[in-house]
Amino acid sequence: MPTRDLVEQSTVRVKSGTSEVAVPIRRVPIALARRFFQICTAVAAELLAATDLTPLEYAVIAYLSEAPDIDQAELAARIGIDRSNTGLLLDQLSEKGLVRRRVNGSDRRARLSSLTPSGLRLFKKLGPKARAAQMKILASLSASEERLLIDLLVRVIQTNNTYARPGAGRRKRATTSK
């Protein structure tokens, strides 16, 4: 099987002091995904700058707008973060009056979360702006290229989903030996 040379040259212009310089872009999945994530996070942060929300808090609100009354484990799986972080996010949003949590009647150990009327109003206000921000990211693509990129990303994610574990790739804590 022939190997594909993914490291062909592409460049991007970046500010360096008072001028712009062309710097190479590594055409490998990990480097491209990290750079794409940086762009998406910066656009999301720009969108949310006028609110008291982080991009992850907005993700919780967006998922709860689609699926009210889901439990913390289901929400964590949808967002792709661990359940304890999801619990912290839900606590923060609950303190802001945007999320309501209640005990699940069929499993008293689980809590179901949904948006409060304030949370739903905020989502309805931010939703169109969030969609516009996402379209801004993809503005250099035609409509068919945009669909293709999304389809390809979904396929790559579905094929490699076993690697999508919250916390994967983090540094291990150093252990002290006595």
Q: What Rg, from alpha-carbon coordinates, does the chain have?
A: 20
Return the pLDDT at 31: 87
Strands laid side by side in the 99-104 sheet: 70-71, 107-115, 99-104
Note the pLDDT tens digit of each residue in 72-84: 889 998 998 888 8
Q: What size, in residues, is the chain?
A: 178
Q: What confidence tier does 2 reach under pLDDT thresholds 50, 70, 90?
A: very low
**Which has more confidence, 8 or 139?**
139
Domains with residue ranges and CATH for the chain: 10-161 (1.10.10.10)
Return the pLDDT at 163: 84
Residues whose CB is less than 8 angstroms from the CB of residue 40 and which lie 6 or more positions away in sequence, other chains included: 137
Q: Which helix (H) or strand (E) holds 11?
A: strand 10-16
Q: Report how far residue 66's alpha carbon sits from residue 119's, in angstroms, rounded to the nearest whole number.
A: 13
pTM (predicted TM-score): 0.76
Q: Report how far residue 95's alpha carbon sits from residue 136's, in angstroms, rounded to the nearest whole number.
A: 32
Is-contact 99 90, C-beta < 8 A? yes
| Collapsed DSSP state (helix, strand, coil) of residue 164 | coil
